[in-house]
Amino acid sequence: MADFIRVERVAKRFGAFQALEGADLHVDEGEFICLIGASGCGKSTLLRIIAGFETATEGYVFVDGQQVTAPGPERGMVFQDYGLFPWLSVRDNIGFGPVARGLPKRQIRETVDRFIEMIGLEKFADNYPHQLSGGMKQRVAIARVLANDARVVLMDEPFGALDAMTRERLQDELLDIWARTKLTVIFVTHAIEEAILLADRVVAMSPGPGRIVSQTPVELARPRDVSSVAFNALRRTLSAQLHR
């Protein structure tokens, strides 16, 4: 079976600064990948190239056999700062993509209602972003991507600004959504524990310029126990790879 996402020899320079060099990554459809590495190692740059927001200086990205040259609705991105439109309600933020695509009003309403129910914000459907908690805003950001018919969700440290309890709850909810939708997820984080908790495979990157230095399958049954011997053994292995 052909890889659903193929990153081939991708490099990125910003002037004299080399952010990425020779990145290769193949992702199966429905796989949950976490990218980890120190700040400045090029994780977010690679994610933005896959999204089509940045152009690689060298190399290529393909999604389902099509070369990525620009953003597309099949690739949705979720940011740490939510990126919601403050003048739109929860309902209208989620429906923004379907409206922009000119879908029939009934289909838009049914799609929005389905994702509002999926993220558990039925009582807040007519609220605006400033009336929501950080965790609620991030749920809306995820639902907005899903409502736009995304097949790939690209997440750039989406839970990094949240408190520990909210982050744990959203990690569980994200895994539940992923299990139900069979989406392909590439999730950037600097936290090894979060990567092991979420991913099918953890991809580690080296700093300056960013290179992919290891790809480690996480063969632990879900839900995962962060206190288990196997979990902590894998955490030590990944920590050693990052500090090598």
pLDDT value at 215 more than 70: yes
Domain extent, residue 207, equals 28-74+151-244
pLDDT for residue 189: 93
Torsion, CA 35, CA 210, CA 28, CA 65, rounded to 10: 140
Tell me: do 213 and 192 sit in the same domain. yes
Q: Are residues 127 and 211 in the same domain?
A: no
CB neighbourhood size of 40 (10 A): 13
The confidence score (pLDDT) of residue 1 equals 44
Residues 45 and 133 in one domain: no
Average pLDDT of 101-116?
90
Out of 64-73, 80-89, 158-167, give the one with best mean pLDDT: 64-73
The model's pLDDT over 32-59, given as tens digits with 9 standing for 90+, comes to: 999 998 877 889 999 999 999 999 999 9
| Closest among 161, 144, 183, 185 to 50, alpha carbons compared | 185
Query: Tell me, what's the pLDDT at 228?
Result: 95
Range list of β-strands (E), the chain: 5-14, 17-27, 32-36, 58-63, 66-67, 75-78, 152-156, 184-188, 201-206, 211-217
Q: 57 and 136: one domain?
A: no
Please check whether residues 59 and 120 belong to one and the same domain.
no
Calculate mean pLDDT across residues 199-203.
Answer: 96
User: Do 119 and 93 reside in the same domain of the chain?
Assistant: yes
**Are 105 and 70 part of one and the same domain?**
no
Residue 236 shares a structural domain with residue 157: yes
| Residue 164 covered by a domain | yes
d(CA 152, CA 235): 26
Asked if residue 5 has pLDDT above 80, the reply is yes
Q: What is the CATH number of the domain that holds 157?
A: 3.40.50.300
Total domain count, the chain: 2
Distance CA 225, CA 44 (A): 28
* 56 and 161 belong to one structural domain: yes
The structure tokens listed for 112 are 């929005």
Beta bridge pairs of residue 205:
212
* CB contact at 8 A, 204 and 238: yes
Query: Contact, 183 vs 152, CB < 8 A?
Result: yes
% of the chain surpassing 70 pLDDT: 99
Claim to verify: residue 109 and residue 227 sit in the same structural domain: no
Is there a single domain that holds both residue 159 and residue 239?
yes
Domain match, 167 and 133 both: no
Which structure tokens are listed for 95? 């429906």
CA 38 to chain CA centroid, nearest Å: 17
pTM here is 0.91
| pLDDT tens column, 143-193 | 898 888 889 999 999 888 788 888 898 899 889 889 988 899 999 998 999
Q: Where is the domain boundary, 120, 149, 178?
A: 149
Supply the mean pLDDT for the chain.
Answer: 90
Residues 124/96/176/130 CA torsion (nearest 10 deg): -40
